[in-house]
Amino acid sequence: MLQMPSQLVESIKIDKISKFGDPKKSPRNLCVQFNSQKEKDEVRYHGANPTGTGYSMFEQFPPEIVDQRRKLVKIMKEKKLNEPSSKIKLVYNKLYVKGELYQT
């Protein structure tokens, strides 16, 4: 699944892992809390697109950020339809259009 060097895997410290969902169904969702942001970024970098595995990774956000992102995703989709060549990026709870912060 993750293509990470073994030294890196052994050095990662995890604070907490929680399983979610029906235990009879697999694979179950996991929520992993890493010891540091650097370790989290390393895992996300090496496992960003585990194609062909049936697994995926997502970042978990607080409910208020999820609401903000939901609104920004609608705006992002409209912008992509109207300006397909422009570079649009959603970072945490901010939308960047052509490298500039989009003001709502």
Q: What torsion do the CA atoms of 32, 36, 37, 40 make, to the nearest 10 degrees?
A: -40
**Across residues 7-11, what is the average pLDDT?**
85
CB atoms within 10 A of CB 50: 14
The residue ranges of every structural domain in the chain are 6-46, 63-101
**Across residues 42-54, what is the average pLDDT?**
76
Q: What is the largest CA-CA distance in the chain?
A: 47
pLDDT for the residue numbered 14: 92
Of all residues in the chain, what percent carry a pLDDT higher than 90?
43
| Ranges assigned E (strand) in 26-87 | 29-34
pTM of the model: 0.65
pLDDT for the residue numbered 49: 64
pLDDT for the residue numbered 95: 94
pLDDT for the residue numbered 26: 78
